[in-house]
Chain A
Amino acid sequence: MRQVYLDNAATTPVDPRVLDEMLPYLREEFGNAASRNHSYGWRAEEAVDTARNQVAKVLGCSPKEVIWTSGSTESNNIAIKGVARMYGEKGKHIIAQETEHKAVIDPCKYLEQEGYRVTFLPVTKAGLVSAEQVREAICDDTILVSIMFANNETGTIQPMAEIGKVCKEKGVLFHTDGTQAFGKIPVDVEAMGIDLFSLSAHKVYGPKGVGALYVRRKRPRVRCEPVLHGGGHERGMRSGTLNVPGIVGLGAAAEIALREMDTESKRLSGLRDRMWKGLSSNLDEIFRNGDPDQCLPNILNVSFLYVEGESLMMGISTVAVSSGSACTSASLEPSYVLKALGLGDDLAHSSIRFSMGRFTTQEDIDFTVDKMVETVNKLREMSPLYEMAKEGIDLSKVVWAAH
């Protein structure tokens, strides 16, 4: 049976080229990068410096501005809680937006308990916030704006440069959760006015459990109160012995992603468009979620009316995807991201996210389209909602016996 992996926004396999770079640092080059007095330490430090350069090139920053972490969750926590605590005397207001990842929302909510105020900006139907919204939300005591670069469920890309410009004008720090954008689309922290940028290796064919935070050193010099206290590694912002093989892997992954970005993003958007064309020409009443133009090349989010997401995933069992349906989450709530775009709960329950990757082929796409068309048709034949809609009943007017 053909297995297809279309959940690359959740995580990616390690590229074999990345693994090759990492292996020596799990074997003979096991040194601690903080050991200053022998060659094991020096060689480990050199490898870490190389990786810092590789990551900095993708961001357009100085290698000195890259801080190693365990991934984006930690990077977001250091950026948000670290800035809030360092600048808390100046102000206690933070601005984010509704479709942020939980790794941004939860630190913000945590800070609310400590007396900070957080404004979550609403988004358009396409999932966008505007620089104007940010400008209007900035108050005298605003210290941080945190807007994600690209959304993990819909792929929608926010207007980074415009928002960065407003933040500079107003003298407010600008953090972005760049997890899904890093290595996929061009980033330039200078041109975009970004002061802090969170990223993770496992979304770009690196290993899990390693990531980085870019922290600006000039104009302005940004400081973060540490979340972890200890040996004072990483300019005091993140203590702990460095994960050298992981960092080497992140560096190698970053270099490959940058080198192949142009050709790969064209290839991926070609696959994504092929997928949408295949689905929309064979099925009626399906909707694409997110902004079709301002979108990552590898994410396609679709609602299939009258069928529920988890049953769809079960029907295409050998194809791995994600759904915004409640049945797939522990909370039994459908995707808050899709709801923020104004989708009703029913459409959120009917959504599937396809995320293509470096190892996705055209055959994978064609196979998935066929499977999806077959499954949607089968489930619609089984769906009382489809039957009612065909009879001309307006489902929004039905009084349901909710449970």
Chain B
Amino acid sequence: MAYSNKVVDHFEHPRNVGSLDKAAVNVGTGIVGAPECGDVMKLQIQVDDANNIVDAKFKTFGCGSAIASSSLATEWIKGRKLDEALEIKNTDIVKELALPPVKIHCSVLAEDAIRAAVADVTAKRDAKVEAS
């Protein structure tokens, strides 16, 4: 089972590796997966006041396909609005990276990570609005 060129490319040159300040109100953090399952993804987004995702970062513990899926996810969500980010489906990732069936869970995890990060930043902002 060889890796697709795109998976290899993302693995060797991962986009947007790193961390954003998880305490900031305009940063959303999604951590999904579990070490026992062999993959954990942390995906973070920074949004401006107009709900645009101005930055995205990830860190992933997992196989090459998991790393590639999260790398691709950050690339795709940057520049989108929050609700547009939610339109990304795991099947889009599967197609783009040509993932084999045993690696589909990696793409599901990436979609979950996007949702978790969006939910986090939305909740933080709602809490801030309520507090003020």
Whether B67 and A345, one on each chain, are in contact in the complex, defined by CB atoms closer than 8 angstroms, is: no
Whether B32 and A403, one on each chain, are in contact in the complex, defined by CB atoms closer than 8 angstroms, is: yes
Whether B35 and A403, one on each chain, are in contact in the complex, defined by CB atoms closer than 8 angstroms, is: no
Q: Indicate with 1 or 0, residue by residue over B38-73, a CB within 8 angstroms of chain A CB atoms.
A: 111110000000000000000111111011000000
Whether A400 and B33, one on each chain, are in contact in the complex, defined by CB atoms closer than 8 angstroms, is: yes
Assess A382 versus B35: contact at CB under 8 Å? Given A311-B11, A314-B3, A387-B19: no
Whether B59 and A387, one on each chain, are in contact in the complex, defined by CB atoms closer than 8 angstroms, is: yes
Contacts of B19 in A (CB 8 A): 387
> Cβ of B112 < 8 Å from any Cβ of A?
yes
Q: Indicate with 1 or 0, residue by residue over A311-337, a CB within 8 angstroms of chain B CB atoms.
A: 100110000000001110010101000
Contacts of B67 in A (CB 8 A): 311, 382
Q: Mark out the residues of chain A between 251 and 289 whose CB falls within 8 Å of any chain B CB in the assembled complex.
A: none
- Report the nearest A residue to B109, measured CB to CB: A403
How far apart are the CA atoms of A325 and B62 in the complex, in Å? 10
Counting chain B CB atoms within 10 Å of each CB, the highest count among A381, A382, A386 belongs to: A382
A326-B37, A383-B59, A403-B37 provided; 4 other pairs, C-beta below 8 A?
A306-B61, A325-B63, A386-B61, A401-B32
> Cβ of A310 < 8 Å from any Cβ of B?
yes
Counting chain A CB atoms within 10 Å of each CB, the highest count among B40, B42, B60, B108 belongs to: B40
Whether A349 and B38, one on each chain, are in contact in the complex, defined by CB atoms closer than 8 angstroms, is: yes
Whether B63 and A400, one on each chain, are in contact in the complex, defined by CB atoms closer than 8 angstroms, is: no
> Cβ of A385 < 8 Å from any Cβ of B?
yes
Shortest Cβ distance from residue B123 to the other chain A in the assembled complex, whole angstroms: 15
Shortest Cβ distance from residue B71 to the other chain A in the assembled complex, whole angstroms: 9
Q: Is the interface of B mostly helix, strand, loop or mixed?
A: mixed
Contacts of A311 in B (CB 8 A): 11, 62-64, 66-67
Assess A346 versus B32: contact at CB under 8 Å? Given A384-B42, A385-B40: no
Q: Mark out the residues of chain B between 60 and 108 whose CB falls within 8 Å of any chain A CB in the assembled complex.
A: 60-64, 66-67, 102, 105, 108
How far apart are the CA atoms of A395 and B37 in the complex, in Å? 14
How far apart are the CA atoms of A326 and B63 in the complex, in Å? 10
> Cβ of A402 < 8 Å from any Cβ of B?
yes
How far apart are the CA atoms of A334 and B37 in the complex, in Å? 9
Contacts of B36 in A (CB 8 A): 344-346, 349, 400, 402
> Cβ of B28 < 8 Å from any Cβ of A?
no
How far apart are the CA atoms of A334 and B61 in the complex, in Å? 15
Contacts of B116 in A (CB 8 A): 401
How far apart are the CA atoms of A400 and B105 in the complex, in Å? 16
Listed A/B pairs (29) with beta-carbon separation below 8 Å: A308-B62, A308-B66, A311-B62, A311-B63, A314-B3, A325-B38, A326-B37, A326-B38, A327-B62, A330-B102, A345-B35, A345-B38, A346-B35, A349-B36, A349-B38, A383-B59, A384-B40, A384-B60, A384-B61, A385-B35, A385-B61, A387-B42, A395-B35, A400-B36, A401-B32, A401-B34, A402-B34, A403-B108, A403-B112
How far apart are the CA atoms of A403 and B112 in the complex, in Å? 10
For chain A, the count of residues having a C-beta within 8 Å of the partner chain is 29
Whether A401 and B14, one on each chain, are in contact in the complex, defined by CB atoms closer than 8 angstroms, is: no
Shortest Cβ distance from residue A385 to the other chain B in the assembled complex, whole angstroms: 5
> Cβ of B17 < 8 Å from any Cβ of A?
yes
> Cβ of B117 < 8 Å from any Cβ of A?
no
State the B residues within 8 Å of A (CB): 3, 8, 11, 14, 17, 19, 31-42, 59-64, 66-67, 102, 105, 108-109, 112, 116
Whether B63 and A327, one on each chain, are in contact in the complex, defined by CB atoms closer than 8 angstroms, is: yes
Contacts of B40 in A (CB 8 A): 384-385, 400
Contacts of B112 in A (CB 8 A): 401, 403
The residue from B61, B64, B109 contacting A383, defined by CB atoms under 8 A apart: B61
- Report the nearest B residue to A380, measured CB to CB: B61
Shortest Cβ distance from residue A349 to the other chain B in the assembled complex, whole angstroms: 4
Shortest Cβ distance from residue A284 to the other chain B in the assembled complex, whole angstroms: 17
Q: Indicate with 1 or 0, residue by residue over A369-385, a CB within 8 angstroms of chain B CB atoms.
A: 00000000000011111
Counting chain A CB atoms within 10 Å of each CB, the highest count among B35, B39, B64, B109 belongs to: B35
Contacts of A403 in B (CB 8 A): 32-34, 37, 105, 108-109, 112
Whether A384 and B63, one on each chain, are in contact in the complex, defined by CB atoms closer than 8 angstroms, is: no
The residue from A314, A334, A383 contacting B60, defined by CB atoms under 8 A apart: A383
Shortest Cβ distance from residue B49 to the other chain A in the assembled complex, whole angstroms: 28
The residue from A308, A345, A401, A402 contacting B61, defined by CB atoms under 8 A apart: A308
- Report the nearest B residue to A307, measured CB to CB: B61
How far apart are the CA atoms of A346 and B33 in the complex, in Å? 12
Shortest Cβ distance from residue A331 to the other chain B in the assembled complex, whole angstroms: 10
Contacts of B41 in A (CB 8 A): 384
Shortest Cβ distance from residue A288 to the other chain B in the assembled complex, whole angstroms: 20
Whether A382 and B59, one on each chain, are in contact in the complex, defined by CB atoms closer than 8 angstroms, is: yes
Assess A310 versus B14: contact at CB under 8 Å? Given A349-B35, A403-B37: no
Whether B102 and A332, one on each chain, are in contact in the complex, defined by CB atoms closer than 8 angstroms, is: yes
- Report the nearest B residue to A333, measured CB to CB: B38
